[in-house]
Amino acid sequence: MDNAEQKNANEEAPSVIDRYFTRWYRADMKGKACEDHCILQHSNRLCVITLAETHPVLQEGRTVKSINYQISNGCSRLNNKVTGKSKRGGQFVTDFAPLCRITCSDDTQYTIYSCIRGRLLEVNENILKTPNLLLEKPSTEGYIAVILPKFEESKSITENLLRREEFEEIVSKRGQSHPP
Amino acid sequence: MLPLKEKDKPIIQKLLAAGCCARCILRFCCLSVQAAYRQPAQETMKELKAFIAVKENTKHQESVALPSTQENNGSYDAAASEAPADPPSKRAKLDPSETAAQTGESAAGQLEESRVCVVCLGILQHLCGTEQATKISETVKKEKYEFDTLVLSVSLPAQLCVREHSCWLHVKKEVREKGLVLDKDDVIQVKEAFKWIMQGLVAKELKGVAVVSKSMFEIGLEFIHLETDSDCHFLAKSCPDCFRPTKNKQSVFTRMAVVKALEKISDATFLQHYPCPPPQPASCCLPLDVQCLHMSVFIAGRYNKFCRSLPQTPWVIDGERKMESSVEELIAAPILSAFRADGFNFSSSGREDVDVRTLGNGRPFAMELLNPHRSRLTKVDMKQLQEEINTLSDKIRVRDLQMVTREAMSHMKEGEEEKTKSYMALVWTQKPIQREDIVFIDDIKDLILDQKTPLRVLHRRALAVRQRVVHSMSTRFVDSHHFYLGLKTQAGTYIKEFVHGDFGRTKPNLCQLLKTDVDILELDVESVDVDWPPAIPE
Ligand SMILES: [Zn+2]
C-alpha cells in the first residue's frame, strides 16, 4: 500500500456495482410506459432485480406507502426459503412472474416482475421496514430480489434484455427530462 | 520333507484326483509351515505322491520320521531320514498289487504338471516364483522409489472364493477327521501362501528390503481370470441381498460380496448350483501390471501472497483458465518434483481473494503429496526446497516449510472459527471526510455483525445469516476521500462486505457507520493467528 498516499481525491468514484455486475434492462414492462426494471448480473451469474432510475415510483416527489410481497392469495414471496448449496425449495420464477407490488402515497400501484428465469433466492425484507431505501438507494440497498438463473441458462437469460446503451437510447427518445 | 500325518492321506488323495496343485493340497492339510510352500512345487508334488504311496504298514516308521503339523514349525528338515524321492515306479515294483494304479498315475503325471489347478487357478503353480519376483523388483527399481520396507498387496479374482468353498466341501469330512478343532478358517488362504512364497523372493531381489505386513510402500499385484468369472453368478440368485449395485463398482461380484454370500448359503444349495470339486479350467490366471504406491506424505508451512492478481487455486470459468498461475501451483511445482509425487491436495487456514495480499507471518497451509517416489527429506532438504520456491517467484513467499503427520494437519482446521485475523483495508468515502470524522471508529469494540452469505459467493454456498465479531478497528486518514482501516476480526468475517455493505445484506456496515457510501479499494491480510505449523527459526 506504499503508493496509496498519492491517491488523489478527484479520481472517479468507485462502485461495487460496476466492479462486479453487468447492468441489464427491461423498458416499459408489460407495455406500461416507463415501468423500467434493472437487472444486475454478477459475474457469478446471480441476478439482483432492482427498479431502474426511470421507474415512475422513483420520480420527483413520490413516496411509497407500502410494499407487498404477497402477490396472490396463495403466494407470498416472503415464504420463499432456500436450503443448502443447491438452494432447494426456492420458488422458480419465469420472466413475467410478479415479485411484489408497490403502492405509492397517491394510491397508484406498480407490480415489479422477475424479468428473468431462475430460482428465487431472497427478497429484500429491509424495504418493508424502511420503504425509503427504495427511493434513496434503488440500485443497492433498495433492491427487490435475488434470483439465481440455471447454470446452463446463465448466458441466454439476458438475450431478451437491453444493454445499458440500448436502454439509454430508448429513454432519451421518450423526450422526457429524466436524469440518466 | 513335508511334515504330513497319516490323516492327511485321504485329503491328499481326494485333492490330487480333483486336480488341485501341490501347494493347494498343503493348504487344505492346514499346513502352516511356510518353508513347505517355498520349495519347488514339482518337488512337493513328488513328495505328496510318494507319501500317499507309502502303505499303512509303514505307519510306525513314518510317525517317527514325520512329526505332526502341530508340534512342527519348520524343523521338519531334521526329520528327513526317509527318502521319499524314490520314483513311484520303483516303489511300484516293491508292491505288485499297486502296479496298475501307479503306472497309470505316472503317465498322467506329466499331464498333471501342466494342468491348471482347479482351486488357485494357477496362482500358486505358475505365478509365484523367481520370475515374478524379478518382474516386481524391476518395476520398483524402474520407478526409483525410496522406501525402507514394503508390503505386498494381492488382489485375487472373486471366483477363487467359490472354488475354495467347493473344494472345502469336497474334503470337509476328511479335514475334520484330521483334527477335531479344524475348520474352514484353518485352511491356509491362497493369499497367505502366495505371500509366504513371494515375500522372501522379492526381498532378495531388492537386496534385503524387509517385506512386512504394514508399510508406507505397497506393491499391488492383481490377477484376473475371465474364463471363470461366471463362477460367482449363481450366488446372485440365491443371495440377492449381497449383490446390490453400487455406483462406483464395475461389477457387483466383489470379493467382499462373494465372501458374504458364501457365509450365508447352505451347503445343500451350494452343491445344487456348483460342482464339487470345482471344474477344470483351461487357462491360468492373468497377472495385471505391477502397481506401486507409496502412501501420502504431508507437508505444511505458511505463505505470503504479494500479488493482487493471483488466485489461491487455479481459476477456471467455463473450462477456461482465467489467470496464468495460482498460489498453490507456485508452491506445489517445486515440491512435487522434489518428492516426485503424482499429485497433491492443498488446504489452508481460510483463503484470500484474488486481489487480496497476505502479509505478516503468512497463512498456514498443508499439502498431501500423492504417491511420492521420494519421501525421506531432511530438515536441510526442506529448507533448500523452501528457498527454491521463494527464488522461483516473487509473487509468493513460503516459510516454516516442514514435513508433518496426517494427524497434525487437523490442527490447522481446529477451532478455525474462533481464531482471529487482522486486515488492513484502503477505504474510499463518497462524502469528503476530515480526520475527526473517522476517529470514532477506533473506539468501537467487539462489534457484532449479521452477515448474509455474500452475493459474490451465494451461487455456491448456502444462504444463511452468520454472526461475526469485529474485535477492534483503527483508522489512518489519507485524504478527504480515503483512509486506511485496520481490523481485527473473528475468522470467517467477510471484510469487503462489512465495508461496502453488500446491498445492505451485512449489518451494520461501514456505510451505515459513516453515513455515506463507502467502498473498499485494497485489502491485505496482516496476520492469521493460527499457531500451527510450528515456526522454524531462520
Ligand atoms: Zn492351487
- Name which of B504, B519, B524 is nearest A1 (Cβ-Cβ): B524
Amino acid B74: pLDDT: 40
Which residues in chain A have Cβ-Cβ distances shorter than 8 Å to B479?
7-9
How far is Cα B228 from Cα B258, in angstroms, rounded to an integer? 14
Where exactly are the structural domains of chain B? 118-287, 299-413, 416-528
How far is Cα A89 from Cα A103, in angstroms, rounded to an integer? 29
Amino acid A177: pLDDT: 52
Spacing, Cα B208 to ligand 1 middle (Å): 28
Q: Are B17 and B9 in contact (CB under 8 A)?
A: no
| Subunit contact B463:A124, Cβ cutoff 8 A | no
How close is the nearest chain A Cα to the Cα of B446, in Å? 24
| Subunit contact B458:A140, Cβ cutoff 8 A | no
At residue B77, does pLDDT exceed 80? no
The CATH number assigned to the domain with range B299-413 reads 3.30.70.2510
SS3 content of chain B, % helix, strand, coil (to 5): 45, 20, 35
pLDDT band at B446 (very low <50, low <70, confident <90, very high): very high
| Subunit contact A4:B484, Cβ cutoff 8 A | yes
Spacing, Cα B176 to ligand 1 middle (Å): 21
Q: Same fold for the domain at B299-413 and the one at B416-528?
A: yes
Amino acid B87: pLDDT: 43
Q: Which of B148, B373, B498 is nearest to A16 (CA)?
A: B498
At residue A99, does pLDDT exceed 50? yes
- Name which of B480, B501, B522 is nearest A1 (Cβ-Cβ): B522
pLDDT tens-digit profile of A30-75?
999 999 999 999 999 999 999 999 999 999 788 999 999 999 998 9
Q: How open is the CA angle B431-B437-B438, to the nearest 5 degrees? A: 100
| Subunit contact A44:B461, Cβ cutoff 8 A | no
Question: Is residue A129 within 8 angstroms of chain B, CB to CB?
Answer: no
Nearest residue of A to residue B480, measured between CA atoms: A9
Based on its alpha-carbon atoms, the radius of gyration of chain A, rounded to whole angstroms, reads 17
How far is Cα B174 from Cα B9, in angstroms, rounded to an integer? 9
Spacing, Cα B259 to ligand 1 middle (Å): 19
Nearest residue of B to residue A138, measured between CA atoms: B503
At residue B426, does pLDDT exceed 70? yes
Amino acid A10: pLDDT: 43
pLDDT band at B97 (very low <50, low <70, confident <90, very high): very low
Spacing, Cα B19 to ligand 1 middle (Å): 9
Which residues in chain A have Cβ-Cβ distances shorter than 8 Å to B424?
1
Question: Is residue B424 within 8 angstroms of chain A, CB to CB?
Answer: yes
Question: Is residue A134 within 8 angstroms of chain B, CB to CB?
Answer: no
pLDDT tens-digit profile of B222-255?
999 999 999 999 999 888 888 887 777 778 899 9
At residue B86, does pLDDT exceed 60? no
Which residues in chain B have Cβ-Cβ distances shorter than 8 Å to A137?
504
Query: Which ranges of B414-472 does DSSP label H, i.e. alpha helix?
Result: 435-438, 455-458
pLDDT band at A175 (very low <50, low <70, confident <90, very high): low
Query: Between chain A and chain B, how many beta carbons pairs sit less than 8 Å apart?
Result: 76
Q: Is B353 considered catalytic here?
A: yes
Question: Is residue A103 within 8 angstroms of chain B, CB to CB?
Answer: no
Which CATH number is correct for A12-169, 3.20.20.30, 2.40.160.20, 2.40.50.100, 3.40.50.360? 2.40.50.100
How close is the nearest chain B Cα to the Cα of A162, in Å? 23
Question: Is residue B461 within 8 angstroms of chain A, CB to CB?
Answer: yes
* Mean residue pLDDT across chain A: 89
Amino acid B78: pLDDT: 39
How far is Cα B240 from Cα B65, in angstroms, rounded to an integer? 51
Q: Are B368 and B375 in contact (CB under 8 A)?
A: no
How far is Cα B117 from Cα B45, in angstroms, rounded to an integer? 12
How far is Cα B320 from Cα B326, in angstroms, rounded to an integer? 14
How close is the nearest chain A Cα to the Cα of B348, in Å? 21
pLDDT tens-digit profile of B5-60?
899 999 999 999 999 999 999 999 999 999 999 999 999 999 999 999 987 554 44
Nearest residue of B to residue A83, measured between CA atoms: B462
Amino acid B100: pLDDT: 41
pLDDT tens-digit profile of B104-155?
444 455 555 679 999 999 999 999 999 999 999 999 899 999 998 999 999 9
ipTM score for this prediction: 0.91
pLDDT band at B317 (very low <50, low <70, confident <90, very high): confident
pLDDT tens-digit profile of B327-347?
999 999 999 999 999 999 999
Question: Is residue B107 within 8 angstroms of chain A, CB to CB?
Answer: no
Overall average pLDDT of the B296-318 stretch: 93
Amino acid B318: pLDDT: 75
Residue identified by cell 477456471 is: B316
How close is the nearest chain A Cα to the Cα of B522, in Å? 8
At residue A165, does pLDDT exceed 60? yes
Helix-helix angle B9-18:B159-178, to 10 degrees: 150
* Mean residue pLDDT across chain B: 88
Q: How many CB atoms lie within 10 A of CB B425?
A: 23
| Subunit contact B463:A121, Cβ cutoff 8 A | yes
Amino acid A12: pLDDT: 59
Q: Are B455 and B511 in contact (CB under 8 A)?
A: no
Nearest residue of A to residue B357, measured between CA atoms: A1
Amino acid B406: pLDDT: 92
Amino acid B107: pLDDT: 47
pLDDT-above-90 percentage for chain B: 72
Q: What is the pTM of this model?
A: 0.77
Nearest residue of B to residue A122, measured between CA atoms: B463
Amino acid B60: pLDDT: 46
Question: Is residue A82 within 8 angstroms of chain B, CB to CB?
Answer: yes
Question: Is residue B480 within 8 angstroms of chain A, CB to CB?
Answer: yes
Contacts of B225 (CB under 8 A, 6+ apart): B121, B157, B159, B281, B283, B284, B285, B286
- Name which of B460, B478, B500 is nearest A7 (Cβ-Cβ): B478
Look at domain B416-528 and name its CATH class.
alpha beta
Where exactly are the structural domains of chain A? 12-169
At residue B68, does pLDDT exceed 70? no
At residue B463, does pLDDT exceed 50? yes
How far lies B207's CA from each of B148, B202, B445, in Å? 11, 9, 67
Amino acid B61: pLDDT: 45
Residue in B86, B186, B229, B353 annotated catalytic: B353
Amino acid B418: pLDDT: 76
Amino acid B65: pLDDT: 41
Q: Are A120 and A112 in contact (CB under 8 A)?
A: no
Which residues in chain A have Cβ-Cβ distances shorter than 8 Å to B456?
20, 42, 44
pLDDT-above-70 percentage for chain B: 89
Q: Which of B104, B103, B51 is nearest to B76 (CA)?
A: B51
Amino acid B104: pLDDT: 44
Determine which of B353, B463, B516 to mutate to test the interface with A (most A C-beta atoms within 10 Å).
B463
pLDDT tens-digit profile of B168-202?
999 998 888 887 678 889 999 999 999 999 999 99
Amino acid B99: pLDDT: 40
Overall average pLDDT of the B258-274 stretch: 94
Overall average pLDDT of the A3-15 stretch: 52
How close is the nearest chain A Cα to the Cα of B312, in Å? 18
- Name which of A44, A82, A83 is nearest B456 (Cβ-Cβ): A44
Spacing, Cα B83 to ligand 1 middle (Å): 25
Spacing, Cα B183 to ligand 1 middle (Å): 19
Amino acid B89: pLDDT: 44
How far is Cα B222 from Cα B288, in angstroms, rounded to an integer? 5
Overall average pLDDT of the B383-394 stretch: 97
